[in-house]
Structure 1
Amino acid sequence: MRRVWTVVLALLVLGAARASATSLVTEQPPSGHGYRDASGTYEVRTQGDLRVSLRSGALRPSRGYTPLDVVLQNTGPVPLQVRLAFVGQGTSGTRTSERSVEVAPRQRLVAWVHVPASLQMGNLRVEVPGQVPLTKHVYLESSSGGSVLVLGALEDFDDTAGVPRVDSNGSPLFSARAIEPKDAPRELPAYVGYSVVVVPGDRASLPADVWTVLEAYALSGGRLVVTHASGDVLERLPLLARNASEPSAPYGFGVVRLCGSARECEQVVNGLLGDVIPGVVKPAGAAPRWERGNALAGGIPPLLGNAMAPVGRFLLLIFVFVLAVGPGGLMLARRRGPVAVLVAVPMVSVITCLALIAWSVLVDGFAVHAARYSLTWLDSERSRAVTLGVSAWYANVSSGPVRFPVTSALLAPDSHDDALADLDWTGGLTVTHGFLPPRTYREWGEVAVLPSRARLVMRKEGDAVRVLNALGAPMEGGVLQLGHRRYALPALADGAEGPLGEHLREVETPLHQVLTSAERPRLAHGRFEAGEVNFRAALPDGGFVVRLGGLGLAPSSAVDVELEAGIHLVRGQAEEVRP
């Protein structure tokens, strides 16, 4: 009997120990679970009437830009002109990201400087005319897992997203940075690099212009998570209306996920971070110095033929030079003597150099050569175009400043700080230096949400259907979905009208049909792999996918170039005109 009671007591003690261990695990997340707070810390300094709060230790994404905020408070009676400049060191030298703002008397202003994500540290300067500049060394945190941007308090994120927070000694799955909703940046480049953007808690605290840029982030390939969704979300994210019953819905090139309970939100965030997405636009960078040839990093071929050195022609010229200097010099020495050789060899060298220079001037010239590729999603109902673009550039001389609107982002190749440039964020982005160095092949990616009246117009005449190209560029072909059938679209000049083409077989997908006659088998050699996912979805009734030539709809199309190649795929909904 005593043995029985001993066994019972042992089982009770063992159960209590297990319960205690479970509670301890619940209170303290184990290694490899949860997230780390990487919001950074402020340091407050005073410069005359200007009170400055400088942040350090903020989370930087793996690509794009790190939004760096500086809080400026003018305690004086006169306005102050302030220049903020982040100076970082890349492999190509020192690069600057700056912004100039005016701080009114008694005003508190949050100014954002977007720093290329490949820079992990640098000096932040605050300059006011007539005063000694303030300088602070700024370090930016990186994350081995995903990078999550939270527009709200981390306490709300803890409560609604269901993801526990770990201390600095833990091994988190991802890092998160919190930003006050009222101070959040109003520019698309601040968001494009983060893996996930989460809006927890009270969404009413988010200003309308912040919602506008969040929608642009989702449209251009971002992943947006909204907790405790309600009817007002459909007003802020209008494309959800057609998929209102779905918790996870494609949104342009990106995705919007709605979640309710903490457990559901935790699964959503972890699921999005588990999807390895290399970026909806992935321009290629230069190969390492020990591997450089005519291929880029990863062995990818360049998009621009001018970037490839004419090795065969140069070898022929060098061979002729060797013949003239070697056997030719020996024959000249026998006939004319060594003095003639001393005169002839330098002359041959000068002629060879002049031939190389003439080749560079006559073939490459002084124009900017470019090849441009893009995917565009037309939202004709709201008169806008969402564009993902990759462009390749080469020129003998450097280009001047290039401007981009605030609803677009210019993206360098991932982890290539030799492709950095000097950036001025005053009134949008201006690339002041480094956009296109002389005699250097360079690729830039672009994401943009811009106003556009581009459209495809459909008009029925009895049983026949005619289409009008109002897309702003020559149409080289495409497909149109009518009911359960797909039809070929004819090649039409901009502004031209023509009859609808033949019925297509069901086995041919729209994107495949458009690309069969493209110049390259894969659009830009796979630089849009992630962006094509939603683009390949089935077309609705009246939907179309067309291929255009020309410069495309990306913001850098305003640069004057000699276009070597241009392929642009456009997806949208045809407008039907009643007779």
Structure 2
Amino acid sequence: MASSLTAAVLLVALATSPVAAVAGEERQRTGYRNASGKNEVQNEGGLRVSVRTGMLKPPRGYTPLEVTLQNNSPVALQARLSFAGHYNAGSRVTERTVEVGPRARVVAWLPVPAQLQAGNLSVDVPGLPRMVQPMYLDDSGNASVLVLGTVKDFEAATGLREVQAEQEPLFAARFLEEREAPRELSSYVGYPAVVVAMDATQLPAAVWAVLETYAATGGQLVLTRPSRDAAERLPMLSAGGRGVAEPYGFGQVRACHQPGACGVVLAALSGDVTSGPVNPVGPPPSWERGGALRNGAAPLLESARAPVGRFLFLIFAFALAVGPGGLMLARRRGPVSVLVVVPLVSLFTCLALVAWSVLVDGFAVHSARYSLTWLDGERSRAVTLGVGAWYANLSPGAVKLPASSTLLLPEDVGEPPADLDWTHGMTVTDGFLMPRTYREWGEVSVLPSRARLVLRQEGNGLRVQNALGEAIEEGYVRRGNAHYRVPALEDGAEAALQGPVPASELAQPTDALLASLGSVLYERLLKDKTSFRADLPEGGFIVRTGGQGMGPLATMKTEREAGAHVVRGQVQEVKP
């Protein structure tokens, strides 16, 4: 009896000891949680609508909502999908209009801002009652993984199993059927990792194209069955790259060359990604006072605030004129004079406020734009990550973006500030910039571009021509294991390269140029850009330019008050 009691006490002590607790926790954190959600079905007339609810949302960017429309009628239907958060009657709306042919089935994707965790999805079809589906989304923070493929293939490649309800998983996974996966970058950009749990050659071409774009713009693409034609499918992959993690533009491609190796990769990755490709800063919460931005961050625009002090001075002067001034005037000139002077003073004050707004602030949109661009010259495209600050007296109109680009909101905003329409790509219909409101947007894009830096031999020297579309402020080219300085050049101009620059004077040209952007942009743009910071390869260049940059909003007419853009790529050499 005593020995049994002693053994029981020993077991309890071991079970409650820190070592046992850690070991128990390690045993629990060995699998994944399936957060793919479930389908809710509604029928109205000849239309059957299936909405997936409770699925995993990313920590940033957009959550792609899956809506399946089955038209059983003999006529085509036009369905408007809209989503509004659970805030108030004036909440912002994200919508998309879908055409469903007769006897056809369509899978539609509606990317909604990841800041929303609950809301109502409405389906409106002319002639049919409105269908409303309440939705709650699953939030796992940075431990979120999007998987293309089946659960069976995923578990075979990773060696991981779905955990029980009482266990703590390594990460949460959302599974998508690869043939019906979304085709726009916005649906992927917010997820820290995307896993292809199948043969990549079986993916539809449009899906693979957007996955390649996702990796190039800073995503973590994990391939469980890397194909032999990886060089053709991943054109920015380094020559002969066969490592577990290979840099790919701003992101990485992780290949699992051995069965079960992906489990180790995902376990290491699940808690490693803490920031997005770009991180604009939002306004402070309502209970914080005295700061222009959250956590005391400095705005990127000097004209980021309304001239409250000057307006208060005018209002104070008006109060003195109609208060003590009106009393003095009534004593000297009589009460009738007050009835004439006070309206005139009011009119003068209003005109002064309007004149200040027109003459000083104007009607233009003020901006400050910063970006990093990786030029892929062989495929004539520019991969750009940028952050922009905006301020204006009047709100601009709708802003439309190409399909291979997206805008990112600050992660810490409580409610999305804009209405979005995804019918023909991303369109910010209202709220891109509210009047007299400072706002930051992040830009992520892969756009066609013929921009390049041309190098040619002239005698014993080298000459460089600027064909980047913007004036070069400074830069460097690597040639023959030496760095040469690119002088300031207007667009289309050419000059001789200066150098070579001694290593003692310039150890790392990429760090030198990025440091010139200033520390205020580190969290917003420069953090975790290790591949962009790497030393230049043979024939590589890195330059800093002015202008609007190569992002999707570069063509928007603004008054640029500040900004800089760092462009990296390979020079185009021409024979003399």
CA distance in 2, matches of 1:446, 1:546: 20
TM-superposed CA distance for 1:51, in Å, is 2.3
Instruction: State the partner residue of 2:128.
Output: 131
CA distance in 1, matches of 2:155, 2:536: 39
1:102 alignment partner, SS class? strand
Task: Tell whether the 8 Å contact from 2:284 to 2:291 is kept in structure 1 after alignment.
Answer: no
1:133-172 alignment runs, 5 A limit: 133-144=130-141, 146-172=143-169
CA distance in 2, matches of 1:455, 1:269: 37
TM-superposed CA distance for 1:311, in Å, is 5.2
1:115 alignment partner, SS class? strand
CA distance in 2, matches of 1:299, 1:505: 41
Counterparts in 2 of 1:514 and 1:144: CA distance versus 1, 3 Å? closer
Instruction: State the partner residue of 1:476.
Output: 473
TM-superposed CA distance for 1:316, in Å, is 4.8
Structure 1 portions without partners, runs of 5+: 1-5, 19-25
* Match 1:497 to one of 486, 494, 499: 494
Q: Show CA shifts across 1:126-153 (max 9, x none).
A: 2222222222112211115511000011
Q: Tell me which amino acid in the other structure corresponds to 1:305.
A: E
Counterparts in 2 of 1:515 and 1:201: CA distance versus 1, 3 Å? closer
Task: Tell whether the 8 Å contact from 1:373 to 1:523 is kept in structure 2 after alignment.
Answer: no
Instruction: State the partner residue of 1:62.
Output: 59
Q: Show CA shifts across 1:42-87 (max 9, x none).
A: 1222232322211111111110000111112223333222222222
Q: Show CA shifts across 1:219-268 (max 9, x none).
A: 00000111132313333212225252322111000011111335421121
Structure 2 length-normalised TM = 0.90
TM-superposed CA distance for 1:178, in Å, is 0.1
Task: Tell whether the 8 Å contact from 1:510 to 1:536 is kept in structure 2 after alignment.
Answer: no
Q: Tell me which amino acid in the other structure corresponds to 1:155.
A: K
Instruction: State the partner residue of 1:351.
Output: 348
Instruction: State the partner residue of 2:388.
Output: 391
1:303-452 alignment runs, 5 A limit: 303-310=300-307, 313-314=310-311, 316-317=313-314, 320-321=317-318, 324=321, 328=325, 331-332=328-329, 335-336=332-333, 340=337, 344=341, 347-452=344-449
TM-superposed CA distance for 1:435, in Å, is 1.0
Q: Tell me which amino acid in the other structure corresponds to 2:138.
A: E
CA distance in 2, matches of 1:263, 1:204: 20
2:264 alignment partner, SS class? helix
CA distance in 1, matches of 2:551, 2:528: 15
Q: Tell me which amino acid in the other structure corresponds to 1:99.
A: R
Instruction: State the partner residue of 1:264.
Output: 261
Does 1:467 pair with 2:464? Answer: yes
Identity over aligned pairs, percent: 56
CA distance in 2, matches of 1:170, 1:106: 45
Counterparts in 2 of 1:309 and 1:87: CA distance versus 1, 3 Å? closer
2:501 alignment partner, SS class? coil
CA distance in 1, matches of 2:548, 2:89: 29
Counterparts in 2 of 1:460 and 1:311: CA distance versus 1, 3 Å? same
Q: Higher mean Cα deviation, 546-555 or 300-309?
A: 300-309
CA distance in 1, matches of 2:377, 2:314: 55
Counterparts in 2 of 1:563 and 1:169: CA distance versus 1, 3 Å? same
Does 1:187 pair with 2:180? Answer: no
Task: Tell whether the 8 Å contact from 1:243 to 1:249 is kept in structure 2 after alignment.
Answer: no
Counterparts in 2 of 1:427 and 1:318: CA distance versus 1, 3 Å? closer
CA distance in 1, matches of 2:533, 2:257: 29
Task: Tell whether the 8 Å contact from 1:294 to 1:309 is kept in structure 2 after alignment.
Answer: no
Q: Tell me which amino acid in the other structure corresponds to 1:149.
A: L
Q: Tell me which amino acid in the other structure corresponds to 2:508.
A: T
CA distance in 1, matches of 2:89, 2:514: 38
CA distance in 2, matches of 1:144, 1:365: 42
CA distance in 2, matches of 1:322, 1:258: 71
CA distance in 2, matches of 1:327, 1:577: 79
TM-superposed CA distance for 1:484, in Å, is 1.5
* Match 1:570 to one of 567, 570, 574: 567
CA distance in 1, matches of 2:88, 2:103: 42
Q: Tell me which amino acid in the other structure corresponds to 1:137.
A: P
1:304 alignment partner, SS class? coil
CA distance in 2, matches of 1:92, 1:341: 46
Does 1:115 pair with 2:125? Answer: no
CA distance in 2, matches of 1:449, 1:531: 19
CA distance in 2, matches of 1:67, 1:347: 57
TM-superposed CA distance for 1:458, in Å, is 0.4
Instruction: State the partner residue of 2:510.
Output: 511
Does 1:228 pair with 2:225? Answer: yes
Counterparts in 2 of 1:527 and 1:577: CA distance versus 1, 3 Å? same
1:558 alignment partner, SS class? coil
Q: Higher mean Cα deviation, 532-541 or 100-109?
A: 100-109
CA distance in 1, matches of 2:73, 2:550: 46
* Match 1:248 to one of 234, 245, 259: 245
2:525 alignment partner, SS class? coil
2:211 alignment partner, SS class? helix
CA distance in 2, matches of 1:515, 1:38: 39
Counterparts in 2 of 1:319 and 1:54: CA distance versus 1, 3 Å? closer
CA distance in 1, matches of 2:521, 2:441: 12
Aligned residue-pair number: 558
TM-superposed CA distance for 1:282, in Å, is 0.5
Instruction: State the partner residue of 1:532.
Output: 529
Does 1:100 pair with 2:97? Answer: yes
Q: Higher mean Cα deviation, 540-549 or 87-96?
A: 87-96
Q: Higher mean Cα deviation, 102-111 or 381-390?
A: 102-111
Instruction: State the partner residue of 1:43.
Output: 40
Q: Tell me which amino acid in the other structure corresponds to 1:467.
A: V
Q: Tell me which amino acid in the other structure corresponds to 2:218.
A: G
CA distance in 2, matches of 1:78, 1:282: 46
Counterparts in 2 of 1:61 and 1:92: CA distance versus 1, 3 Å? farther
Task: Tell whether the 8 Å contact from 2:115 to 2:415 is kept in structure 1 after alignment.
Answer: no
Counterparts in 2 of 1:51 and 1:343: CA distance versus 1, 3 Å? same
1:555 alignment partner, SS class? coil
CA distance in 1, matches of 2:523, 2:138: 30
CA distance in 1, matches of 2:248, 2:417: 31
Structure 1 length-normalised TM = 0.90
CA distance in 2, matches of 1:391, 1:288: 21
CA distance in 2, matches of 1:485, 1:438: 51
2:191 alignment partner, SS class? coil
Task: Tell whether the 8 Å contact from 2:58 to 2:141 is kept in structure 1 after alignment.
Answer: no
Q: Show CA shifts across 1:106-136 (max 9, x none).
A: 3222111101101111111222222222221
Does 1:77 pair with 2:74? Answer: yes
Task: Tell whether the 8 Å contact from 1:332 to 1:340 is kept in structure 2 after alignment.
Answer: yes
Task: Tell whether the 8 Å contact from 2:142 to 2:271 is kept in structure 1 after alignment.
Answer: no
TM-superposed CA distance for 1:337, in Å, is 5.4
After superposition, the CA RMSD in angstroms is: 2.8
Q: Tell me which amino acid in the other structure corresponds to 1:530.
A: K
CA distance in 1, matches of 2:519, 2:71: 55
CA distance in 2, matches of 1:92, 1:485: 63
CA distance in 2, matches of 1:340, 1:527: 59
TM-superposed CA distance for 1:339, in Å, is 6.0
Task: Tell whether the 8 Å contact from 2:487 to 2:495 is kept in structure 1 after alignment.
Answer: yes
1:73 alignment partner, SS class? strand
Counterparts in 2 of 1:551 and 1:523: CA distance versus 1, 3 Å? farther
Q: Higher mean Cα deviation, 238-247 or 269-278?
A: 238-247
